[in-house]
Amino acid sequence: MKSLDAFMYGPKDLRLETVEVPELKPTQILVKVRASGICGSDVHCYLGESAEGRYDLGPYTPGHEWCGDVIAIGSDVISLKVGDRVTGECANSCNRCDICKEGINNSYCTNWNEVGFMPTAPGGMGQYLVGEEQFCYKVPNTMSYVEGALVEPCSVAYYSIYGRDGFVARTDDCVIFGAGPIGLFAATICKAAGAKVMIVDPVEFRRNLALEVIGVDRAIDPFNEDVEKVVMEETEGQGASFIVECTGTDACVGMTVDIAKPHARIRFIGHSIGRRIPIEIGKAIWKGLNLQGSAGQPWFFTKTIKFMNRVKKDIDYSKFVTGYYPLEKIQEAFDEAIEHKDRAIKIMITMDDEAAEA
């Protein structure tokens, strides 16, 4: 069987090529991909701004946010069947190294395969994808393929909030830095818990999306408003009890401890690898803050799928998708994600016209 796949050869070198679909191993499934999202990390790899994409090892097929139909299964597969709608985790851990044996986040596995970033783990920007059963999850037919492809970014936010004994409650005053896909999902999760939610983003389009689609309580423009002053006004001078930092920018990371209430929980998701960021750590000490980094979504897909399916009656996830492109126009899709990044929340590659609705 042949598959038309995208390949990242290097910075700004994206090609479409027809390849042979490999024979399934006993624990693998073959998926006909229906939708695949472009993540900010895909864009950074395409621009040569990130070492996560391992094209130094050879060209690879990007796409770690995907959904499709199972069309074949290996002889040992027991949890999935032909016809199931599925999505899958990005971090495929070995389950044999010391990190895995200690039950630590599979994103830190020393022998992992990172789907959509390595030649050894082709992603979803192709007609077919071979996935490992243990890292693939059934998506209910009540969710569209595009919603299924949004499970991965939503799960990053969901794990950052509820993973490692985390929580958000109705009594929380939450501040989310960044209204990109992860920030919007973080706001959705906090709002669903009944918390008060404030989101900080300099782009009016993104702030309005958070207000209109999610119903956040306050959208703050950090370029024209004093974020700390607004947060204190909104919390009766107490500060935010829960903060999720999704931008990775110096200013926002540094601001987290400034706006925090004593004993606040702060979660850092935004990528900021390779540089040191000034932060007044004394405030973390004298406020007794809980600062925690969060990467990936180890074994959180099942919970995320259940969450998304239950709250979809209140949230129109399609509003997070600002562009649809067929696989044949993947270059145009990446161009839009780069040239119109302020308005391009999530660009989706769809393999047919019905993928968004089915």
Active-site amino acid positions: 41, 44
- Reduced to 3 states, what is the DSSP secondary structure of residue 139? coil
- Closest by CA to 128, choosing from 229, 238, 33, is 33
- Closest by CA to 256, choosing from 218, 286, 285, 228, is 228
* Rounded alpha-carbon distances, angstroms, from residue 187 to 13, 135, 180: 35, 26, 10
Helices (H), 210-300: 227-234, 250-255, 281-286
Question: Beta 85-88 vs 136-138: how paired, if at all?
Answer: antiparallel
- By the 8 A CB rule, do 36 and 123 touch? yes
Q: Is the sign of the CA dihedral 281, 184, 309, 67 positive or negative?
A: negative
- By the 8 A CB rule, do 228 and 255 touch? yes
Q: Which long-range contacts (CB under 8 A, 24 or more apart) does 223-230 make?
A: 227/200, 227/255, 227/259, 228/255, 228/258, 228/259, 230/198
Q: What is the rounded end-to-end Cα distance, in angstroms, of the chain?
A: 25
Taking the C-alpha atoms of residue 180 and residue 246, their distance in angstroms, rounded to an integer, is: 8
- Closest by CA to 206, choosing from 175, 244, 180, is 180
Phi, psi at residue 16, to the nearest 5°?
-105, 130
- Closest by CA to 86, choosing from 106, 101, 102, 68, is 68
Question: Beta 346-350 vs 321-326: how paired, if at all?
Answer: parallel
